[in-house]
A and B are shown apart, each in its own frame.
Chain A
Amino acid sequence: MSELNLNEDQQDCLQEIINVAMGQASDQLARYLDTFVYLKVPSIEQVSTLSLIETINKNEKSVAVVSQGFFGYEGIRGEALLMYQPKDSDRLADLLGYEPDELSVEEQIIDLSSILTTTFLNVFAKQIDNQMSYSAPRLLAGSQTAISDHLAQQSFNWDLALKVKITYQVTDYSFNCDMVLLIPESAINNIKAVIDRILEEF
């Protein structure tokens, strides 16, 4: 387990890359959505299968989770989970610039997830001279019980993952959501190699 852990330098470097990416992403999002988007300083930690389920369960009020896979060069890959609370969906259509009757709440949530994920990861990828591709976003489940059921039923083929959690806040629309990037065990060494290369270049 410990050999997968990022050392202090690696952790700082990843944090810095993410910070820069967050700044640029927030700027792009603000221009597209025409309102300020705040991204809260991310938490980076290693999680086990079990603790992931617990974190999601602890987030009791979350009603929707959207998953979108991402994959780039040098074996950088993972899954982004976007988590929403019930009150957050009220003015989503408005925020996205759609008429509420043009699209269902599910579609609004999926659309926004895709925008948040791809915007952030595109700038993140650029920071590490990479380029991301994405799978289509999918609504994993629409209600809390369904989400824990869904996760509990999975026989995960990973034990550990690197977890980066970023909270998005759109204060004008009193909207919050969490983006959790999960990089599976098999890709952690790949991202460490990329970080080490960047550290050497300094």
Chain B
Amino acid sequence: MSLDEICSDIANKLNTGILIIDNEYKIVLWNRYLEIHANKNIDNVKGKNIFEVFPELPEKWFKRKVESVFQLNAQSFCSWEQRHHLFELQHTRPITTNSHFMAQNCTFLPLEAKNNSQHVCILIEDVTDVCHYQTMLNKTLEDLAQANRIDGLTQVFNRKHWEECLEKEFSRARRYQHGLALIMFDLDHFKLLNDTYGHLGGDKVLIETAKVISSLLRLGDLFGRYGGEEFAIILPNTDKMGAIDVAERIRVAISENVIKFQESQIKVTASVGVAIINENDLRYEDLIANADLALYDAKASGRNLVCFAKEVAEDYNI
């Protein structure tokens, strides 16, 4: 066996597609792997324009890519992570993955023959498997990150993530002199509710309340469970009147909401504290403290009330 024969034998047994084109984008050669996966005989494609054989190729992009290989005489790459595939080829896991075409890593190699003719060799590797598992991994990581942000019971942000959001919004508001409002509310006599209906009843109230409030909020508002039966909402770019308006709507919505639990119909109310960012707030915790004080005022003044933080003078009572 001569070396040429050995090379040709290996090229045809390789589990990698080898495709060679000339500088007019005409197909010069391909190996058995491509013949099989593209299901086309080499004799039918030899000398044909590559865009004719593979009409799915993004022609302009592909030409610029090949041009860089010729001009810089350097190899170039194309990964499945940026482009799932270049060539619409069959792959080896049609049953156990949902990939329609073979996911590919392609390498463009410059080939210089002795007579100065220029060719580019494109190596095509099947990475459908890698793509499949990486996609599953990414999805799992995303789910985990999501689960890490969400309160399991009420499906709103958990305390940790909510505070991180507030920290960001707080520094943004200070930097750009934007408004920022904070609403904190607490369900009235929640312990009594738990004692009367049991913890399952209490849980149902928390879930249903969170649902009702979520439907009242705007896209940029950040709603979280602060702890127990206390919830908190960050309202970016919102002034005092806007915040009080939202707070009042929340109070009314909660008091009008009837929650069905087993044979009972549960009604709850909430006390609401509102604060807006002011010059004295150096840390986001100051804003929380102000809203919390207002919430305490609402509790002390008879509950089912909205109170505005004293810090900025006047009280707001309904």
Instruction: List A residues at the B interface (Cβ < 8 Å).
Output: 28-29, 31-32, 96-99, 102-104, 106-107, 110-111, 114-115, 118-119, 122, 133-134, 136-139
Contacts and interface: CB of A to CB of B under 8 A. Distances in A.
B58 interface: yes
A147 B310 CA distance: 44
- Classify chain B's interface size: 10 to 19
B83 A28 contact: no
A99 B60 contact: yes
Nearest to B74: A118
A107 B68 contact: no
Contacts of B105: 136
A187 B71 CA distance: 30
25 contacts: A31-B71, A32-B68, A32-B71, A96-B64, A97-B64, A102-B58, A102-B60, A102-B61, A106-B81, A107-B83, A110-B79, A110-B82, A114-B76, A114-B77, A115-B68, A115-B74, A115-B76, A118-B74, A118-B75, A119-B72, A122-B74, A136-B105, A136-B107, A137-B77, A138-B79
B73 interface: yes
Contacts of A111: 76
B82 A32 contact: no
B82 A104 contact: yes
Contact of B77 (A31, A99, A122, A136): A136
A134 B64 contact: no
A64 B77 CA distance: 18
Given A28-B71, A115-B72, A134-B75, 16 more contacts: A31-B71, A96-B64, A103-B61, A103-B82, A106-B82, A107-B83, A110-B79, A111-B76, A114-B74, A115-B68, A115-B76, A118-B74, A119-B72, A122-B72, A122-B73, A136-B107
What 9 A-B pairs have minimum CB-CB distances, sorted nearest first? A118-B74, A107-B82, A136-B77, A102-B61, A32-B71, A119-B72, A97-B64, A122-B74, A32-B72
Contact of B72 (A103, A106, A118): A118
Nearest to A103: B61
Contacts of A139: 81
Contact of A98 (B61, B71, B107): B61
Contacts of B61: 98, 102-103
A122 B69 CA distance: 12
Interface in B36-79: 58, 60-61, 64, 68, 71-77, 79
Contacts of A133: 75
A110 B61 CA distance: 14
B18 to A, nearest CB: 17
A136 B72 CA distance: 17
Contacts of B60: 98-99, 102
A114 B79 CA distance: 12
Nearest to B62: A102
B64 A98 contact: yes
A137 B68 CA distance: 16
A122 B75 CA distance: 10
Contact of B79 (A32, A97, A136): A136
Contacts of B79: 110, 136, 138
A110 B77 CA distance: 9
Contacts of A106: 81-82
A134 B83 CA distance: 20
Contacts of A104: 82
Nearest to A117: B74
